[in-house]
Amino acid sequence: MLKKLLPFVEHVIKKPVWDCRMCGQCVLHSTGMTCPMTCPKTLRNGPCGGVRENGNCEVIPDMQCVWLKAYAPSRIFIVD
């Protein structure tokens, strides 16, 4: 019973909060709590190189690049 309940509860929480795709290989902890599977190209290892000058996705122009969103929280700790 618990085996079936736990994934359901996890999905109910993670989907609305982090737009989780429940891929089974969660990396939210290392991507600034941004799910890389929300990338239209589903790139898990970094941006595709097609990021527009304004930081938006090349596939969906109205969407900010998932990887820029993941990078943004880490900028707090960068010292120039």
DSSP assignments along 3-35, one per residue: HHHHHHHHHHHHHHHH-----S---GGGTTT--
Gap between the Cα atoms of 63 and 76, Å rounded: 23
Predicted TM-score of the model (pTM): 0.64
pLDDT at position 15 is 80
pLDDT at position 73 is 60
Amino acid at 4: K
Task: Tell me the average confidence (pLDDT) per consecutive run of 10 residues in the chain, 80 residues long.
Answer: 78 79 77 83 81 89 87 58
pLDDT at position 20 is 77
